[in-house]
A = this chain, B = another copy of it.
């Protein structure tokens, strides 16, 4: 069983017609028939009633359709989850700051920043000037 077969199956189930589904999928009708046949063989059930004028889902087909759609959704989400990592900045930064800053301007800045970059975790290191400069050098 492959995702390609699930895509094919869902399209046929949607249109109730191999010929039209094959068109939309940009493949030849016999190629589509073949793939559905392979899928039916692997599952051990008929997924469609062949009625001469199109097709209709069997009971097993109805059942499988739900699972097939869910699987495709999961696959798409898995893909998107890594794409998301590429395009949006992410990681962690440590902000060294004096106590005065931490108590005054910093909080509101961090709120704005966190909204703009939800993928970035911000840590605050509060200290005096000298230790902060040392830490920065390291």
Contacts and interface: CB of A to CB of B under 8 A. Distances in A.
Q: How many chain copies does the complex carry?
A: 2
Interface string A60-77: 100110111011001101
Contacts of A74: 67, 70-71, 74
A45 B74 CA distance: 19
Interface majority SS on A: helix, strand, loop or mixed? helix
A52 interface: no
Interface residues of A, number: 27
A125 B77 CA distance: 48
A116 interface: no
Contacts of A75: 1, 6, 67, 71
